[in-house]
Amino acid sequence: MIAAIARFDRRRWGTAVTVAMALAVSAPLIGPAGYDDFPVSSYPMFSRELRRTVDLAHVVGRTGTGEERVLPPELLGTDEVIQAYETVRTAVAGGAAMLDELCTSVAEHAEAELVEILVVTDTFDVVDYFGDGRSPIARVEHVRCATPSQGEVA
Amino acid sequence: MTDWLHRTIPAERIAIARIVIGAYSTAYLVARAASIARLADLPASHWQPVGVAHVLPGGPLDAGVVWSLMALGVVAGTLFTLGWRLGLTGPLFGGLLLVLTTYRNSWGQVFHTENLMVLHVLILAAAGTAGATASLDARRAGRWRRTVDGWPVRAMGIVTVITYVLAGVTKLRVAGGSWIDGDNLRHWIAYDNLRKIELGDLHAPLGGWLVQHAWVFTPIAVATLVVELGAPIALLSTSWARRWALAAWAFHVGVVALMAIVFPYPLLGIAYLPLLDAETLPGARRLIAWLGPTELDLRTTPQSVEVALGGSLRPQVRGLPASAREPGVPGAERPRR
């Protein structure tokens, strides 16, 4: 008898957990399109309409000869490139103080060969980028700062 | 519906799910430990809480707290994988994994590579001792179950299917029918690779080359939607589940080839484990042998046959003839010590 009750309760528990999880995970179906959270999400990556021309906020390093270098995401405090991108975007949206803080932080850890760090927003044609070379169509420079090595030289 | 949900399954199936998903998610925590701890160095202004992080007091956590939680999570995950005190280590590990991955996703980017893993662990955690076969708990008690209520495995399968359907529905809800013509997908693949190049990460050269050929993207977009929206067929039968899992796995291989985005959980096949007869997969028996009954256990003539009653086992039938045991299921009984 006790065993039968225990089994019934476990059955009900299993049913309740399954229904609750299914409802929770399905909830984005009736929420706003593109709802994103964790661990429940509508998985909106690559759903949003994306134009062929896009803006990309990023940080570049410049050597003494004027050559530009792509910087690794670790300089932005993460090994995740998307997180690094979000960090730059947040700083750009945050204004001058956040940009200065970001630029200085990157400059402090940049390789010695770099003399200055720039936070920029480049505009690219994403398809032409892979066909006609990798130059941006346009650039907005938000901030630039000297690296410690440049300071030493000076 | 509930009969289907609770139909019994070989006990090894849920044990394999616990061991594989537990080991994977514990190893995942170890692999991500340094990068999660480093998040504490980011400016607090970048903190954008998601999920349970909304209730974290004071926003970002101190690095010491993160390392402590991580260590506790790894210990709990290891014990959960081994099946020690599952009623305790399951919920503890599920909770810690949820907190730590939520923390990682609360810095401006939800990664989507961890959602399903966490959801599966939460279900296994809620199952408590239901997955106790092939575990330290079972070994200590000397109890081996042949069949168990299959709800945890089916719940994980249902959640897997829903996540894929959601991804497909979202594409249609957000971009409409135009997503099918492939232009949007082409732009995303180009943009994602461009972004990786400009931000100093590995990109997928194949994707960069392919965006020059616009016609390819319509069939790729259609195939993507067919796999995602067609996921429910995996619940029809094991053979359909195998076919769909193969298609979904191929889809993820394509994502790696075209965008260098790695979803390790499905790529390793773990996401699809709950949909398959896991105990029949190559290596499955060997996997649980080290925690399961020994050959001697299996050959022991049962003086007392332990019958699974939900989560507990009782020496209910004594001297039951071998012919009365459930046919075709090898998990044998072992006398109490």
Chain segment B67-76, per-residue pLDDT in tens: 999 999 999 9
Nearest CA in chain B to A2: B309
DSSP per-residue codes, A36-53? --SSS----TTTS---SE
Angstroms from B239 CA to nearest CA on chain A: 23
Inter-chain CB proximity B118 and A6 less than 8 Å: no
* Phi then psi dihedrals of residue B113, to 5 deg: -90, -10
pLDDT per residue over A56-103, tens digit each? 999 999 999 999 999 988 888 887 788 888 889 989 998 999 999 999
The span from the CA of B137 to the CA of B149, in Å, is: 18
The span from the CA of B52 to the CA of B48, in Å, is: 12
Nearest CA in chain B to A83: B109
At B109, the pLDDT band (50, 70, 90 cuts) reads: confident
Angstroms from B252 CA to nearest CA on chain A: 14
Q: CA dist B149 to A12, B94, B278, B305, B310, Å?
A: 12, 21, 15, 18, 7
The span from the CA of A25 to the CA of A21, in Å, is: 6
Inter-chain CB proximity A6 and B167 less than 8 Å: no
DSSP per-residue codes, B271-305? GGGGGS-GGGSTTHHHHHHTTS--HHHHHSPPSEE
- Among A128, A123, A116, CA closest to A140: A123
Which of A126-130, B101-105, B326-330 bottoms out in mean pLDDT, i.e. has the lowest? B326-330
Confidence (pTM): 0.84
The span from the CA of B334 to the CA of B298, in Å, is: 7
- A contact residues 1-60, partner B, Cβ 8 Å cutoff: 3, 6-7, 9-11, 13-15, 17-18, 21-22, 25-26, 28-29, 33-34, 36-52, 54, 56, 58
Crossing angle (nearest 10°) for helices B86-104 and B63-82: 140
**B304-309/B312-318 β-pairing:** antiparallel
pLDDT per residue over B246-273, tens digit each? 999 999 999 999 999 999 999 999 999 9
Take residue A34 and report the two structure tokens written for it.
Answer: 């593109």
User: Can you tell me the ipTM of this complex?
Assistant: 0.84
The span from the CA of A89 to the CA of B45, in Å, is: 12
pLDDT at B131: 67
| DSSP 8-state secondary structure symbol assigned to residue B108 | S
Extents of the domains making up chain A: 2-47, 53-146
At B104, the pLDDT band (50, 70, 90 cuts) reads: very high
The span from the CA of A37 to the CA of A43, in Å, is: 9
Starting at the edge strand found earlier in the chain, the sheet holding A114-125 runs: A68-70, A53-63, A114-125, A138-146
Which of A48-52, B23-27, B91-95, B183-187 bottoms out in mean pLDDT, i.e. has the lowest? A48-52
Q: Using alpha carbons only, give the angle B316, B321, B324 rounded to the nearest 5 degrees.
A: 80
Nearest CA in chain A to B260: A81
The span from the CA of B23 to the CA of B78, in Å, is: 7
Angstroms from B129 CA to nearest CA on chain A: 11
- In chain A, which residues have their Cβ closer than 8 Å to the Cβ of B199? 58, 70, 73, 81, 84-85
Helices (H), B199-289: 205-210, 217-229, 238-259, 264-267, 284-289
* Chain A CB within 8 Å of residue B55 CB: no
* Chain A CB within 8 Å of residue B312 CB: yes
Angstroms from B47 CA to nearest CA on chain A: 10
Inter-chain CB proximity A127 and B109 less than 8 Å: no
Inter-chain CB proximity A130 and B154 less than 8 Å: no
The span from the CA of B270 to the CA of B265, in Å, is: 6
**A68-70/A53-63 β-pairing:** antiparallel
